[in-house]
Structure 1
Amino acid sequence: MLKQRIVTAVVLLALLVPALLADDPLPFAALTLLLIAAAGWEWARLNGVGGALALASGVAVAAACGAAASLGWIERAPTALWLLGALLWIVGGTFALRAGPTGWPHLPRGLRWALGLSALWLAWLALAQSRAVGLNFVLSVLCLVWVADVAAYFGGRAFGRRKLAPTISPGKSWEGVYSGVAGVLLLAFGWLWLDRHLQLAPSLYTRLQDAGGVAAVVVGSVVLTAMSVVGDLVESLVKRAAGAKDSSGLLPGHGGVLDRVDALLPVFPIALAGLGLVRA
C-alpha cells in the first residue's frame, strides 16, 4: 500500500508541477478538467447512478466546463457566480451535515446528482481562474488547504479529545480544527512576509491585506479553513451513506479523485467570492 501511495503521488506531482509552472494557464486547466470529470463519474456512482449514466455524468461536467471556458470565464467569471457558489456551500453544506449519512439518501437522487456536479463545475472554474490570476495566487490557496489538512491531522492526533462529527468522520476533532486554523494563520503571515520581501505577485493573503488589512487576512483564513473542513466532511458523509470507504480506486493507494480534492471544492469559489466582496 505504501509503495502504491508513493508511486501514485510521484506520478501526480510529475503531471501537476509542470502544468502549474507553465506560462500558459491552459495546461493546468486541462489537467484539472480531467480530474474534475473523473470526480463527476465518482459522484454519480456514490449517489446511485451507475454504468453509462455515471460516465455521462463525467462527460457532462467536462462539457459544462468547456462551455464556461468558451465564454471567457476562465479569465473573468461573473462575481455573482462566486457569491452563488459560496451560498451553495455555506447553506447546502450546513444542511447536508445536519442531515448526516442517514438523512442524505432521503434527498431526491436527481437533486443530489445535480448539486454535486454543479459544485464540481464551479470548483474547476475557480481553479482555472485562480491559475489565470497568477501562480502565486493559486499556490497560496492550494497550500492553505494542504496546511489546514496536515495541521488538523497532527493536532488532532496530539490533542484531540472532543469529536467534531462522530457519525460522519470519527477521527476528526475540534482540537484538530483549531490546529488547522493555527497552521493556516502561520502560513498566511509567513506568505505575506515572503510576498513583501521577495516582491512576488499578489497572493491570496496579500490581496486580503490590501483590501481589509490584518483583520481581512485573519477572517479570510479562518473562514476558508472552516470551509475546507466542510468540504471534507460532506464527501465523507456521502461515502458513508453509500457504504463506500473510498470514492473510487482511480488513484492506487489514495482512493479516488474526490478523496483528494474534497476540501478544495468549496475553498476556491469562496476565496474568489471573498475577494469580490472586499474589492466592492
Structure 2
Amino acid sequence: MLKQRVVTALVLSVLILSAVIWAPIWLFSLLVALATLYGVWEWSNFCRFGLHGRVAYVSVAAVVILLLEWFATSALIMQVMWLAGVFWVMALTMVLRYPEGVRWKASTPKLFIGFLVLIPAWLALSQIKALVNGEWLVLLLLFLVWGADTGAYFSGKALGKHKLMPKVSPGKTLEGLAGGLATCVFIALLYAYFLELSLAAAVFLVLLAVITAMASVLGDLFESMFKRERGIKDSGTLLPGHGGVLDRIDSLTAAAPVFLLGLMYLPAL
C-alpha cells in the first residue's frame, strides 16, 4: 500500500510540475478544468445522485466553466473570488458546528456547494498562471499546500496530543496544524530570500502563506466532513493509494481563491 502510494505521488508530482512549468496557459487551464470536472463527478456522490443525475451535474459544471473561460471579465473574476471567500467563511462555521446544524444534508444544498468549492478553484489557478511569472506563483501555492500537509503529518505524528476537530477528522491535531504553518513560513522565507524581496514584500508573503495554509486546512476539513456524512473514507478510487481526485485537491479548493485574492489586493509581492 505504501509503495503504491509513493509511486502514485511521484507520477502525479511529475505530471503536475510539468504542466505548471511548461504548459501554455490554455492547456494548463484545460487540464485543471478536466481535473475539476472529475472532482465534480466525485462530489455528485455526496449528493447521492444516480448515473443520469451525475452526468447532468458534470455537464452543467462544464457549461459554467466554458462560459467563464469565454466571457469572464476581470471584474467578474474578482467577484467570483470574493464569492468564494465569503463561501469559505461560511464553510468554516459549518465545520466548527458539525455535526450540529447540518442543514446542507439534502442533495440540493450539496449541489450548489460543490460548484462553490470546485469552480472558483479552477478559475483561481488559471488566473494565477496567467499573471507575470505565473508559473512560479502556482508552484509557490502548490508548495504551500503540500508543505502545510506534510508539515502537519510529521509534526502531528511526533508531537500530536490535542485534537483539532475530532468530530470531523480525528487524525488532525493542533500540533500538526502548528507544524504545517511553520513549514509554510519557512517556504515563504526561502522564496523571499531567493527572489531578494523587500522587507515589506517578505512580511506580506509570510502573512499570505499563513492565511493560505489555514485555508488549505479548512478545505481538507470541509471535504472530510462531507465524506463522514456520506459514510465513505475516500471520494473515489482513481488514484491508487490516494483515493479520488477530491482527496488530492480538497486543500487547494480553498487555498487557491484565497491566494489569488491576496495577490490581487496586496500587490507588494
TM over 0.5: yes
Determine the C-alpha separation between the residues in 2 that align with 1:189 and 1:122: 28
2:242 maps to which residue? 254
Provide the rounded CA distance (Å) in 2 between the counterparts of 1:235 and 1:82.
Answer: 19
Segments of 5+ residues of structure 1 without an aligned counterpart are 197-205
- What is the aligned length? 266
Larger CA deviation: 48-57 vs 139-148: 48-57
Stretch deviating more after TM superposition (249-258 or 47-56): 47-56
1:61 and 1:120 in contact (8 A); partners too: no
1:80 corresponds to: 79
What are the residue-to-residue correspondences of 1:20-99 with 2, within 5 Å? 20-22=20-22, 24-71=24-71, 78-90=77-89, 92-99=90-97
Partner of 2:122: 124
Deviation at 1:61, TM superposition (A): 1.8
- 1:108 Cα deviation (Å)? 3.6
Tell me the percent identity.
35
Q: Which residue of 2 aligns with 1:157?
A: 157
How far apart, in 1, do the equivalents of 2:208 and 2:193 lie?
Answer: 17
Per the alignment, in what secondary structure is the counterpart of residue 145 of structure 1? helix
Counterpart amino acid of residue 251 in structure 1: L
Q: Secondary structure at the match of 2:170?
A: strand
RMSD: 2.2
Question: Separation in 2 of the partners of 1:103 and 1:246?
Answer: 24
Q: Distance in 1 between matches of 2:39 and 2:211?
A: 25
Matches within 5 A, 1:1-280: 1-22=1-22, 24-71=24-71, 78-90=77-89, 92-101=90-99, 103-104=101-102, 107-133=105-131, 134-196=134-196, 212-279=200-267
State the alpha-carbon separation in 1 of the partners of residues 161 and 195 from structure 2.
37
Residues in 1 aligned to 2:154 and 2:43: alpha-carbon distance in whole angstroms? 29
Post-superposition offset of 1:88: 1.0
Deviations 1:27-63 (A, max 9, x none): 2211111111010011111222231211222222222
CA shift for structure 1 position 78 = 3.2
SS in structure 1 opposite 2:266? Answer: helix
Give the whole-Å Cα distance in 2 for the aligned partners of 1:12 and 1:42: 19
Contact 2:8 2:240 in 1 (8 A): yes
* Cα shift readout 1:224-246 (whole Å, capped 9, x = no counterpart): 11111100000001000000010
Counterpart-to-counterpart distance in 2, 1:101 and 1:242: 13
CA contact (8 A) 2:87 2:116 kept: no
Matched residue type, 1:127: L
Q: Conserved in 1, the CA contact under 8 Å of 2:41 and 2:58?
A: yes
Per-residue CA deviation, residues 54-75 of structure 1 (Å, 9 max, x unaligned), is 12222222221121111255x8
TM-score, structure 1 length as denominator?
0.87
Pick closer, same or farther for the CA change 1:253–1:121 going to 2, 3 Å. Answer: same
Q: Distance in 1 between matches of 2:72 and 2:46?
A: 32
| 1:77–1:147 distance in 2 versus 1, CA, 3 Å | farther
- C-alpha separation in 2, matches of 1:218 and 1:244: 36
Q: Is the 8 A contact 2:238 2:244 kept in 1?
A: yes
